[in-house]
Amino acid sequence: MKRYIPLLLQIAAICCLGSCASTYQGTLVDARNYLNLKAAGESPAQQYAAFYAMKANLPAAILMEKEKLVFLSHASGQLANYSSMEVKAKGAYLPKQRLLKAKQFWVKTEKGWEQIPIR
């Protein structure tokens, strides 16, 4: 039985890859503007551009520490009101597509973390 335990652990790790829920936290950005201009919503003009780009369902991403982008698989139009804000998402990261399929989504407000319904 002992010789099968490492094999079972490897199988469990492979099955978990891409399906285990992880939490990602950072700034919600319009991926196109960030990749072209490094615009992460610091100015009102960048926030305005990010809002309308996301309203048009252009790709959204979470900008994490060290300029790491995690792209979201959801239609960004439903998240446009939270562009350039601190967000947290929990879901499965799909490494081949480089997408996060979020099951839960929070935005940081003055009161703390508020959960946002996503479809």
Give a yes or no: residue 91 inside a domain. Answer: yes
Give a yes or no: residue 26 inside a domain. Answer: yes
Give a yes or no: residue 32 inside a domain. Answer: yes
Give a yes or no: residue 66 inside a domain. Answer: yes
Domain hosting residue 107, numbered range? 21-116
Give a yes or no: residue 6 inside a domain. Answer: no
Give the pLDDT of the chain (119 residues) as one tens digit per residue. Answer: 445 444 333 444 444 444 567 899 999 988 888 888 776 767 888 888 888 888 998 899 998 887 788 899 888 888 989 988 899 999 998 887 778 888 999 999 999 999 988 87
Give a yes or no: residue 93 inside a domain. Answer: yes
Give a yes or no: residue 12 inside a domain. Answer: no
- For the chain, the three-class secondary structure string (H helix, E strand, C coil) is CHHHHHHHHHHHHHHHCCCCEEEEEEEEEEHHHHHHHCCCCCCHHHHHHHHHHHHCCCCEEEECHHHCEEEECCCHHHHHHHCCCEEEEEEEEECCCCEEEEEEEEEEECCEEEEECCC
Give a yes or no: residue 7 inside a domain. Answer: no
For the entire predicted model, the pTM comes to 0.76
How many distinct structural domains can be found in the chain? 1
